[in-house]
Structure 1
């Protein structure tokens, strides 16, 4: 067996870059597309084999340990006899690998409004992704042409490497460097996709936004991701939602939360109110004597749960507003009211954490 360094025309101290340059120079001279002679084909196989060994640091080290001269047949020959030339590493992949591979998964983030979350909705999204090449339909070749069998590995996608070591000849199988392990070579790649079998394209398609989702909820659309190289099956598309802030309403699970400002007179006498909800008007009955921080619950006017037909509640925290500017007439009437009430004078009462703390507790503790 010829010495690999001599085959490439480099010294044993050659750097990886020098080895690569030598291989490229010889490959340009000996490649079957350039030099169709049988002698050049044999030389090209030897050059490729030498480069496969010397370009791999581990293989080069093992080769150097065995020297460039002959050695007694032994350990490696036993492997060749029993495993058909497998040797160390021969238990890996057998035969050529497919050009068709599964595509990558993709993920996009979609912003939705709180209104969209109540019942769910349908949205259109756009994504820049890989789709099947319409010209070659994933074959990677120009229409009317086909891949040709690699003459280096004979279509096997693998080549044998013989390494001389202290144990004798060790024969291993490695991906063919000429066809990259495919077993075939594409002489006329598709111009549209540059031989990839797929192109990038912006797709627009509808998606279902389920009710009850929250920020961070992810949906998986199987087969919605990128088409694979060589027209391989699509990966999956993951959609992550973000629910946008609303100026009036917030949420606690499937309940909607808001506050309602109420005049002092309505708080005293009670009132009927119509409020603009997220899904239409909401009628609210305010009982006389309602206090700031009291909670009014409207059943079934919250958010429809994820994968459910049951809705949460709308919870309204009351905030009684005190007028800051009164006419003299209004002040007189208030004084008359106060004299009739004869309320206790201002005094210290039980400690409370404050109005907003009270509202918070009622929001999150009231069932």
Structure 2
């Protein structure tokens, strides 16, 4: 199922300011918040959709990639295939509220004072998130044109197998935090001229985890993570470009104490092709012909990203002529449209001639057919290319 445009989700224009983006998200978050719409799955889906849109559009770098490449630029290439913002869960969403609503962050939501303080997703406990990882993947032009599957070995922080990521020596070493009673947050009620005000803050004793470790794991020393290696399958969609970034949710560094893993950021690097050059979604090839082949015409074989292709060179073909192989270029990401291959004809002139060849050419020089006859409307190669791509 394809995702909706993020600007449509928030109901804003593409040139909206950061404050307008935040204001639009705040309005939708209040409208569709789970506490305000209990057991309403449609409202919950809209709540998550709005959070995902805000997560992308509020980040200048992600917004720029989204504006240029659409969902594929921020990892939404396969509509739920493991990339991008779609991997957000409720903990990710509620972590945004400290910025949006001015709340205390990690321990509980500022909505608690609005909707009665109901606990969500693990009782409102603060969950740590692992850091993101960034890797570079080099692709040939053929891999970019057809998409690629890569197996990449990544050195990163992985969950400790000895303690299952808990950081504790054993289960008996984990106890409920006495300060917050396991909720990860402490509530304070203060009297004001407007009445009693309830605020929520991260528990200072357990730092929002809701539990305490009395005896640490001997392998990870209470961190819950160790240095390790993981082989990750990466499915890269066709049509990506050099410098584009994809994101795999949950494939970054493991988080301490069984928290949420970070993301894996994949930077695309295009390997230069020996004979083909990419121009947007089109591919350009320089075909060099002898004067004889250009004059008489013949059948030529040219390389394409799909293999070899035969083309017909008409008699009298001029240097600088552009030929087109429709649909032999690079596809657009998440689209059936594909660019073309442009063949630029170059007439090759020999530098060294035998006496016999020179004599033959001297005779041909006097022939009217071998006198230059430029047309009044002849255009340069650059003018032709400009007209073609426009």
Task: Specify the TM-score bucket, using the shorter chain as the normaliser.
Answer: 0.5 to 0.7
Aligned in 2, Cα 1:131/1:188: closer, same or farther, shift over 3 Å? same
CA contact (8 A) 2:327 2:341 kept: yes
1:194 aligned onto 2:221: yes
The 1-side partners of 2:144 and 2:163 are apart by 43
1:307 aligned onto 2:334: yes
Residue 152 of structure 2 is matched in structure 1 by 125
1:357 aligned onto 2:382: yes
Residue 345 of structure 2 is matched in structure 1 by 318
1:140 aligned onto 2:167: yes
1:331 to 348, 358, 373: 358
Residue 324 of structure 2 is matched in structure 1 by 297
The structure that has the greater radius of gyration is: 1
Residue 263 of structure 2 is matched in structure 1 by 236
Matched residue SS, 1:285: strand
The 1-side partners of 2:277 and 2:379 are apart by 22
Deviations 1:179-226, CA, capped at 9 Å, x for gaps: 556565422111122112222322112111211111122222222223
1:255 to 282, 293, 316: 282
Shift of 1:99: 6.7
Deviations 1:285-329, CA, capped at 9 Å, x for gaps: 100111111001112222233223443211110000112222222
Let me know the Cα RMSD of the aligned residues: 3.8
Aligned in 2, Cα 1:189/1:208: closer, same or farther, shift over 3 Å? same
Aligned in 2, Cα 1:363/1:114: closer, same or farther, shift over 3 Å? farther
Matched residue SS, 1:110: strand
CA contact (8 A) 2:160 2:224 kept: yes
Residue 113 of structure 1 is matched in structure 2 by 140
The 2-side partners of 1:119 and 1:97 are apart by 45
Residue 274 of structure 1 is matched in structure 2 by 301
The 1-side partners of 2:141 and 2:204 are apart by 57
Aligned pairs, how many?
A: 268
Residue 7 of structure 1 is matched in structure 2 by none
Matched residue SS, 1:145: helix
Report the TM-score, using the length of structure 1 for normalisation: 0.61
Shift of 1:360: 4.3
Which shifted more, 180-189 or 293-302? 180-189
The 1-side partners of 2:318 and 2:292 are apart by 12
1:226 to 253, 275, 294: 253
The 1-side partners of 2:334 and 2:187 are apart by 57
Shift of 1:142: 0.8
Matched residue SS, 2:173: coil
Shift of 1:158: 8.2
Matched residue SS, 2:364: helix
Unaligned ranges ≥5, structure 1: 1-90, 162-171
Shift of 1:177: 6.3
Matched residue SS, 1:116: helix
Report the TM-score, using the length of structure 2 for normalisation: 0.57
CA contact (8 A) 1:295 1:362 kept: no
Matches for 1:59-98 after TM superposition, within 5 Å = 98=125
Shift of 1:349: 8.8
